[in-house]
Structure 1
Amino acid sequence: MKEIISLAPGRTCLFGDHQDYLGLPVIACAISRSIKLTAKQNDTGVFKINMVDINQVRIIDINEIFTDLAPRDYFASSLRVLRRNGCVPDFGYDITVTGNIPINSGTSSSSALLLAWINFLVHAFGANEEITPEFISKMGYLSEVVEHGEPGGMMDHYSIGVGNIVHIDTRDPFSFTVIGTELGGLITGVSGVPKETIGLIGDLKGNALMAIGTIKEHFPEFDLNTTEIEDLDKYLNYLPDRLIPFFEAAIKNHHYTKMALIEFQKPALDLKKIGSLMNQHHEVLRDLLKITVPRIDDMINASLKAGAYGAKIVGSGGGGSIVVMAEPGKEAPIVEALLAAGAVEAYAVTVDPGSRIE
């Protein structure tokens, strides 16, 4: 019987958290933690999905069209999206899912599972377009964000699907560029505090868009993508006090992402400079968007005291993980410091080439 093994990595956001849903660029990379989906063809007419790590089994009839979607049911939404793109299941599979991406930690375990599932489906049943990393990424974004009407962006899907270190321009027309394949000295620290996602992103996005809309009422030609930090004073007096932090955060985070892109485009990476920009980015996430929690702050402070060049929270916030930039070869003392500061896990990671069939 036919067997397909589909692998999809987690991701970390290096620069641009809470930016992609505003049409601003992000820099992210796939990391060497992954979801592995092993599928063996059966003759039952169902997908039997055994999610070993969470002790759950899902059975899906291959002919189910899912007229109604349950919240966050990405298995179902992706089947709807893929049917519209020429991928129509005609026999079943027994599927085993395992992985070592911490769940609900800000490193995209759910998006990794989704892309592993999508990659399996299109390789098993075909599609009406060429199956490329970009196609897999697009199907993931449509399935998770568009089909469910969720407030997130496309960073997770393209950083996992395309792999490597990627600069994503989230404006329309959307584009992405691979800006690197290696980045030594990366560390992930997992707080163990469950992150918030849908509600937190929705609130932050809503407030940021409200602030931008208010500015556009006074400055119709305002363009968030071309606004610089030096322009802030020009606009802040037009905003109510409660919206100022969200507008200021968008401008500053965009600035640090642009500065980081300049560094990644140089022939030799200056890891100290990249780390310094991470620190500045994190200050905005902590002080303006207020998405950190005490354990995250303790972990970041501990990593910097242990010699890290920089560190920042990753993902939607309210818990989850941090990414640390260290001198390559000197990750061990920083990992120890993170664990001593309360991290439930801490480990060095490398850049991963992205979602693939093994």
Structure 2
Amino acid sequence: MIFSAPARVNVLGNPTDALEGAYAVISAALTLRAYVEIKQSEEELLDLFKSCLLVIKEYFPEEYRRIGDRPVSCKYWTEIPREAGLAGSTALTTAFMYGLREVYGLNRRKLNDYILAELIQRAEEKAGVTCGYADRYVCLMGGLAYMDFRGKLYHRPLRKEPLTTYERLERYVKYIPLLIAYLGVRRSSSSVHRKFRSAYMKELELVKKEVLKPKDAKILKAMRIVGLTAMKGKYALLEENWTEFGRLMNINHKWVNIAMKLAGFKHGAGYYNNAVINYALRKGALGAKLSGAGGGGSVIVLVEPGKEENFAKDLEKYMKSLGLSSSRVFRFRLSEEGARSEKI
């Protein structure tokens, strides 16, 4: 049986999805998808897929017995560019976890979508991936969503912290004049977040121990502002006030760039990321920011409605001029579906 899950784009408020802060993020699923075919054989599984089995065994041993000692393996392929800041690896993990629930008839009440998203996060963490929660929820549930992550900063065991609040917004807004600029610069988003999160958590602990005054906690201040952009941006999104939404995207990027420099990244959000963002703004974009971790991956650009095609050509030409030979620009296409079974 074949299963798939969509890529995601973080539109506003990232990375405060319980990574560097626990506030709110607006994200969307894309029509690009990752696929897995689950079968019973002795072929070796990827570590990420092994971790999925381990977390089911840890939290739901009675459900794991449905899988038992039957060998599980899978083939996988993807439409999502590798290390593009679009949750490509999470989409694969999500498709696999969703497939396990379907193939082995795991209890859908116990392993409901909220719990499954939490298990995916813990599976990736067990595999050594530093990650928040937005990718796991969006790849599984799909759509355009406003997510609230308050209370989830410490990544506590299941049931020791709240579930993410996942509010679907595509019934109100289906179209966003957004471009996704894939730079073609490969980097590990986990390694970026590991360093960034470590700096954030260290500063937070210094404040808690009263070694550092709250007013001097610069990374905390920056990420608090970032988290508030999503809370304010929800108003603008529902009103389709693209000028205001773009302004908030620019605030989001400004403070992420500052915080990443404070965390020890020489070029903040990334040399090429910043170059592309600055170019887009000079050319009249309403807003531009990172989609993922930074240091490469993808940048998202908000333009005036109807100007996407011409702006995309101009932006792609500029990226090629920087020597980014694998770069490309594509338009935002919303997937209302999350993980699903594929008809063969």
| TM value normalised by structure 1 | 0.78
Q: Note if contact 1:184-1:327 (Cα within 8 Å) is conserved in structure 2.
A: no
Q: Which moved more, 1:303-312 or 1:184-193?
A: 303-312
After TM superposition, list the pairs within 5 Å mapping 1:1-358 onto structure 2: 4-19=1-16, 20-21=18-19, 22-39=21-38, 41=39, 45-46=40-41, 48=43, 59-60=44-45, 73-84=47-58, 85=60, 86-87=63-64, 88-89=66-67, 95-130=74-109, 132-145=112-125, 147-148=126-127, 150-170=129-149, 171=151, 172-181=161-170, 182-218=174-210, 235-236=214-215, 239=216, 244-264=217-237, 266=238, 268-290=239-261, 291-342=268-319, 344-353=327-336, 354-358=338-342
C-alpha distance in structure 2 between counterparts of 1:250 and 1:216, whole Å = 17
Aligned residue identity for 1:154: Y
Q: CA deviation at 1:322?
A: 0.8
Q: CA deviation at 1:94?
A: 7.2
User: Larger radius of gyration, structure 1 or 2?
Assistant: 1
C-alpha distance in structure 1 between counterparts of 2:273 and 2:121, whole Å = 28
C-alpha distance in structure 2 between counterparts of 1:295 and 1:165, whole Å = 28
Aligned residue identity for 1:30: A
C-alpha distance in structure 2 between counterparts of 1:191 and 1:160, whole Å = 22
Aligned residue identity for 1:15: L
Give CA deviations for 1:95-118 in whole Å, capped at 9, x if unaligned: 442221110111110000000111
Q: Note if contact 1:196-1:317 (Cα within 8 Å) is conserved in structure 2.
A: no
Aligned residue identity for 2:35: K
Give CA deviations for 1:51-84 in whole Å, capped at 9, x if unaligned: xxxxxxxx34xxxxxxxxxxx8211101112334
Instruction: Describe the SS at the equivalent of 1:322.
Output: strand
Q: Which moved more, 1:209-218 or 1:268-277?
A: 209-218
C-alpha distance in structure 1 between counterparts of 2:100 and 2:11, whole Å = 30
Aligned residue identity for 1:259: K
Q: CA deviation at 1:93?
A: 7.0
C-alpha distance in structure 2 between counterparts of 1:122 and 1:47, whole Å = 20
C-alpha distance in structure 1 between counterparts of 2:224 and 2:211, whole Å = 16
Instruction: Describe the SS at the equivalent of 2:289.
Output: strand
C-alpha distance in structure 2 between counterparts of 1:263 and 1:247, whole Å = 25
Aligned residue identity for 1:209: M
Instruction: Describe the SS at the equivalent of 2:14.
Output: coil
Q: Note if contact 1:133-1:355 (Cα within 8 Å) is conserved in structure 2.
A: no
Q: CA deviation at 1:150?
A: 4.3
Q: CA deviation at 1:296?
A: 1.4
> Could you tell me the percent identity over the aligned residues?
22
| TM value normalised by structure 2 | 0.81
Q: CA deviation at 1:337?
A: 2.1
C-alpha distance in structure 1 between counterparts of 2:281 and 2:247, whole Å = 11
Q: Which moved more, 1:344-353 or 1:92-101?
A: 92-101
Q: Return closer, same or farther for 1:95/1:74 CA change in 2, 3 Å cut-off.
A: closer
Q: Note if contact 1:101-1:107 (Cα within 8 Å) is conserved in structure 2.
A: yes
Q: CA deviation at 1:323?
A: 1.3
Q: Note if contact 1:29-1:166 (Cα within 8 Å) is conserved in structure 2.
A: yes
Q: CA deviation at 1:275?
A: 1.2
Q: Note if contact 2:177-2:306 (Cα within 8 Å) is conserved in structure 1.
A: yes
Aligned residue identity for 1:82: I
Q: Note if contact 2:14-2:227 (Cα within 8 Å) is conserved in structure 1.
A: no
C-alpha distance in structure 1 between counterparts of 2:42 and 2:234, whole Å = 43
Mark the runs of 5 or more structure 2 residues left unpaired by the alignment. 152-160, 262-267
C-alpha distance in structure 2 between counterparts of 1:218 and 1:199, whole Å = 29
Q: CA deviation at 1:210?
A: 2.3
Instruction: Describe the SS at the equivalent of 2:147.
Output: strand
Q: Note if contact 1:47-1:95 (Cα within 8 Å) is conserved in structure 2.
A: no
C-alpha distance in structure 1 between counterparts of 2:186 and 2:33, whole Å = 19
Q: CA deviation at 1:253?
A: 0.8
